[in-house]
Amino acid sequence: EAGVTQFPSHSVIEKGQTVTLRCDPISGHDNLYWYRRVMGKEIKFLLHFVKESKQDESGMPNNRFLAERTGGTYSTLKVQPAELEDSGVYFCASSHRGLVGYTFGSGTRLTVV
Amino acid sequence: AQSVTQLGSHVSVSEGALVLLRCNYSSSVPPYLFWYVQYPNQGLQLLLKYTSAATLVKGINGFEAEFKKSETSFHLTKPSAHMSDAAEYFCAVSDGGGGFKTIFGAGTRLFVKA
């Protein structure tokens, strides 16, 4: 089975621009998560979808971040406008309902300059 | 609130030596505990998980971890290190509620010397 796919793998944008990250979870996985690792720090939870519904978005830093999950399939995370502190690696993960533990994508390394 | 502390941001061992990566957790409810590994330029991969069954959990690539409630620890071990084990390792905890939102430790980078 195909794994969790994220793209782009790298993105370099200027402060104030908009960037959209995409995640394709494993087919059939209802749960989809976004996490972020800022350089040198812990991996932090951003939000959790169950199918197309946001289950928990308590980790979203502010309203410059918008996540969607179209039809319960792929998800996008938009940052608008980007700030320097948004730089980091954004991970997507998915899991089947009721199963413990995630399958992670390779991440998107975002650099805001 | 839950938290995870990984002791040592960097650990260096010789090939063939014991690997011991330390993790202590804090949780007000019986926890689910995980170890993930990240190889260079790859995503995190689940090594093993504790889900309240056996306290000694065996994972992939010869790794295992023991849940010790009295010590609130979940240390990761491997009897004999291999060069291919060089990676960053993350201990993580979840309370299982709301879809297994997970708290990660800061990570321990393992170096293996020839």
**Closest CB to B43 among A42, A48, A105:** A105
* Nearest CA distance, A46 vs chain B (angstrom): 10
Mean pLDDT of B82-98: 89
Question: For position B26, what pLDDT does the model report?
Answer: 92
Answer yes or no: is pLDDT of A98 > 80: no
Tens digits of residue pLDDT in A20-61: 999 999 999 999 999 999 987 899 999 999 999 999 999 999
Q: Report the candidate in B7, B40, B100 with the shortest Cα–Cα distance to residue A55.
A: B100
Contact list in B for residue A8 (CB cut-off 8 A) is none
Contact list in B for residue A6 (CB cut-off 8 A) is 43
Mean pLDDT of B65-88: 96
| Mean pLDDT, rounded, of chain A | 94
Cis peptide before A8 (omega within 30 of 0): yes
Separation in Å, CA A18 to CA A15, B57, B62: 9, 44, 44
| Mean pLDDT, rounded, of chain B | 92
**Closest CB to A104 among B32, B44, B103:** B44
